Structure 1
């Protein structure tokens, strides 16, 4: 059995997720076997099936953990007492930074969502929709308050920003000229400029 890079100290579920994430990002979901995942994690197939019912469950969890993080952060930003323009800018930047920090997860998701079971696909889409609706509510709040332009419907504004976010995995490189925070600032500024009355 292959040795893990952490010497086997991390909990088994974390080791399985780390191995699956690396292999799915490098080879693709469909070209990675359960055997390769368990060997890379230094565990048995029984351990994988104890914590995750299937390879499909691993894929679902890889995406779900990032979305849960982003949802928690967005909920906290939306609840704050800051002006809506500041909250939207912070939310717009946060989703960029957290996506870049979890770029393998985002890459895997964009390449492999169509390979989820219909039930898991439905769950993921519902979770994403909840996030987008909370983000859109900030845009609508600012539009109703007259802080943001109503020339473009809120749905299109949200699609515009998330189109940029989802595209990050195709061009971002850690050794590039901009830090994740600089990219986040640029994209958040673009969004706010588009909404300026």
Structure 2
């Protein structure tokens, strides 16, 4: 039986070498894909022998599991405070997207692995990751539902589709975002929110036409 992922607070500490292995694996998995990356490739990236990897990790699958679990932990930790926020739903949506985009932007390789490579896990582990991704999406759905119920957002809003749209834009960041570029993570999130609110806020020109 596969146990549920540990939270960041309870996840065992890793050694410096383990961290180097995770970082190298995440880079390769994100650049060329999980299936196309061998343990020899990871070892070569670290300038060590492939057999030496097994002194620190058990398998390539466990590397993938650790990478996607760690980034999932970060999303959980970043979005948890949003549920306790007071104020408008527009402000909550902004806070949620800013938190989510910030996690992606500081973990581009790990995030891309989660978004694109998690389906290479065995079914039981896929199910655990899928459930965690659903919980993240649920944070956005709840904000949108609250906005509809309060009259802040249009009553015809498709909550699920809008949540997927919001997250899909952020999930594409690893393909184009560059740290140190002209846009900060907050700039990206704010532009996403502005586009979303232009279509879902009650009283916008779109609704009145």
TM range (shorter): 0.7 to 0.9
Q: Which of the residues 42, 47, 52 maps onto 2:55?
A: 47
Aligned to 2:150: 145
**Structure 1 position 14 matched with structure 2 position 19:** yes
CA contact (8 A) 2:25 2:42 kept: yes
Aligned to 2:70: 65
Aligned to 1:103: 108
**1:137, distance to aligned residue in structure 2 (A):** 0.8
**Structure 1 position 77 matched with structure 2 position 66:** no
1:57-77 CA deviation, whole Å, 9 max, x = no partner?
A: 211221222221111221111
5+ residue gaps, structure 2, are 1-14, 203-209
Q: What is the TM-score when the length of structure 2 is the normalising length?
A: 0.78
Aligned residues: 186
- Residue 157 of structure 2: SS of its match in structure 1? coil
**Structure 1 position 119 matched with structure 2 position 124:** yes
Aligned to 1:171: 176
CA contact (8 A) 1:142 1:148 kept: yes
Point out 4+ residue stretches in structure 1 off by more than 6 angstroms: none
**Structure 1 position 25 matched with structure 2 position 34:** no
**1:26, distance to aligned residue in structure 2 (A):** 3.4
**1:128, distance to aligned residue in structure 2 (A):** 0.2
Cα distance in structure 2, aligned partners of 1:113 and 1:46: 22
Cα distance in structure 2, aligned partners of 1:73 and 1:110: 17
Q: What is the TM-score when the length of structure 1 is the normalising length?
A: 0.82
**1:11, distance to aligned residue in structure 2 (A):** 2.8
**1:164, distance to aligned residue in structure 2 (A):** 0.9
**1:41, distance to aligned residue in structure 2 (A):** 7.7
**1:126, distance to aligned residue in structure 2 (A):** 0.7
**1:108, distance to aligned residue in structure 2 (A):** 2.4
